[in-house]
C-alpha cells in the first residue's frame, strides 16, 4: 500500500482500508474518479484502481503541485534541493506564493514547503517538527511513476462529474465535511452540499461518498445506503444515539 506524498486536512490516511472495503467488485467499473482529491490517500492506496483513473481538486496550487510531480519530478526535486526546515524559509515561501512571477515548478516547490512545514497543514503557521525533508523529496520520484497514467483535473465537482460519468464509472467523493467547510482555501458553501447531492442523484455510474456523521447528512442522503465507520471502534453517544466518526454513503 503506497502512501501519499503529503498530509492534507481531512486526508483519509487512517480510513482508506475501510473505504476500499466498500468499493464494488473490480469487474464492475473501468474508470475510477476521485472528485475531491486532496492528498489522494485512497488513490495512492492501490497500484491501480481501474484502466482509467482521474484525480481532481478545485485548489489550483494543489493541482499544480500534482502536475509538476507527474510531469517534472526531477526539476521539482532540483528546486527543492536546498530546502532546509527553517522558519525564515517557510515565511519567504509563503510570501513568494503571492507573487505572479513564479514558474509552475517554483510555485509547486513553495507550496510543497508550506504543506510539509506548516502546523497541522494549515499552510500559514510554521510548525516545528523534525521531518526528514530529504526522504520526502526523494519520494517524489515514486509518486511521479504512480501518477504516470492518472489524469489530473482542476474542476469544480459538478463539471467533473458530468464530464466523466458513464455506466462503468466509480466515483469516490470526499467533500469538505458538513460545518468544517472553511478549513479549505476554496470555500465550500452550505448550498454546495445540496448541489453535490443533486449531481449524485443524476449519475449513471456508481458512487461512494464519505462524510462526518451528523443528522443533516443522514437526512440529506436518506434514500441511499449509509454505513457508519470509525477508526477506533469507540462510538460517540449523542443524546442516547450512537454516532460514528464518519459515514460512507453509496448508490449500489
Ligand X SMILES: C[S@@+](CC[C@H](N)C(=O)[O-])C[C@H]1O[C@@H](n2cnc3c(N)ncnc32)[C@H](O)[C@@H]1O
Q: Which residues on adjacent β-strands are paired with residue 237?
A: 242
3-state secondary structure of 130: coil
Question: What is the chain's length?
Answer: 252
Interface region with ligand X, contact rule CB under 6 A, candidates 33-41, 100-108, 199-207, 226-234: 33-41
Interface region with ligand X, contact rule CB under 6 A, candidates 22-30, 39-47, 76-84, 115-123: 39-47
Interface region with ligand X, contact rule CB under 6 A, candidates 83-91, 104-112, 181-189, 227-235: 181-189
Q: Least distance (Å) from ligand X to the CB of residue 8?
A: 4
Contact flag: residue 12 with ligand X (CB under 6 A): yes
Binding residue (CB under 6 A) for ligand X from 117, 176, 211, 247: 176
Binding residue (CB under 6 A) for ligand X from 5, 10, 53, 208: 10
> Where does residue 223 rank: exposed (0-12), middle (13-18), buried (19+ CB within 10 A)?
exposed
CB atoms within 10 A of CB 119: 12
* Inter-CA distances, 164 with 11, 40, 44, 156, Å: 23, 18, 20, 13
Contact flag: residue 248 with ligand X (CB under 6 A): no
Residue 62's nearest CA partner among 22, 20, 4, 111 is 111
Residue 250's nearest CA partner among 10, 14, 22 is 22
Contact flag: residue 205 with ligand X (CB under 6 A): no
* Contact by Cβ (8 Å): 138, 177: no
Binding residue (CB under 6 A) for ligand X from 5, 11, 53, 249: 11
Tell me whether residue 57 or residue 213 sits nearer to ligand X (CB atom): 57
3-state secondary structure of 126: strand
Tell me whether residue 138 or residue 186 sits nearer to ligand X (CB atom): 186
Q: Least distance (Å) from ligand X to the CB of residue 46?
A: 13
Contact flag: residue 244 with ligand X (CB under 6 A): no
Contact flag: residue 44 with ligand X (CB under 6 A): no
- How many residues at the interface with ligand X, by CB under 6 A? 21
CA 152 to chain centre: 12
Q: Least distance (Å) from ligand X to the CB of residue 226?
A: 18
What track of x and - describes contact with ligand X for positions 56 through 95 (by CB under 6 A)? -xxx------------------------------------
Q: Which three cell numbers stand for residue 49?
A: 484502481
Residue 40's nearest CA partner among 158, 147, 183, 162 is 147
Give me the residues that bind ligand X (CB under 6 A), please. 8, 10-12, 36, 38-42, 57-59, 156-157, 174-176, 184, 186, 188
Amino acid at each position: 500500500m503506497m502512501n501519499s506524498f503529503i498530509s492534507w486536512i481531512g486526508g483519509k490516511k487512517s480510513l482508506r482500508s475501510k473505504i476500499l472495503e466498500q468499493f464494488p467488485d473490480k469487474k464492475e467499473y473501468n474508470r475510477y474518479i476521485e472528485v475531491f482529491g486532496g492528498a489522494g490517500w485512497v488513490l495512492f492506496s492501490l497500484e491501480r484502481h481501474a484502466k482509467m483513473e482521474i484525480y481532481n481538486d478545485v485548489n489550483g496550487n494543489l493541482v499544480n503541485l500534482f502536475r509538476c510531480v507527474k510531469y517534472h519530478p526531477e526539476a521539482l526535486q532540483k528546486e527543492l534541493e536546498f530546502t532546509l526546515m527553517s522558519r525564515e524559509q517557510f515565511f519567504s515561501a509563503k510570501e513568494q506564493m503571492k507573487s505572479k512571477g513564479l514558474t509552475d515548478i517554483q510555485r509547486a516547490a513553495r507550496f510543497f514547503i508550506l504543506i510539509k512545514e506548516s502546523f497541522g497543514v494549515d499552510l500559514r503557521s510554521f510548525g516545528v517538527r523534525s521531518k526528514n525533508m530529504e526522504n520526502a523529496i526523494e519520494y517524489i520520484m515514486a509518486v511521479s511513476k504512480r501518477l504516470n497514467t492518472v489524469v489530473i483535473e482542476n474542476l469544480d465537482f459538478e463539471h467533473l462529474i458530468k464530464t466523466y460519468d458513464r455506466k462503468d464509472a466509480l466515483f469516490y467523493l470526499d467533500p469538505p465535511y458538513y460545518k468544517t467547510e472553511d478549513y479549505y482555501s476554496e470555500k465550500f458553501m452550505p448550498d454546495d452540499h445540496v448541489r453535490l447531492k443533486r449531481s449524485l442523484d443524476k449519475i449513471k455510474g456508481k458512487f461512494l461518498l464519505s462524510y462526518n456523521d451528523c443528522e443533516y447528512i443522514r437526512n440529506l442522503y436518506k434514500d441511499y445506503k449509509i454505513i457508519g465507520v470509525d477508526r477506533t471502534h469507540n462510538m460517540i453517544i449523542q443524546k442516547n444515539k450512537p454516532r460514528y466518526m464518519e459515514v460512507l454513503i453509496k448508490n449500489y
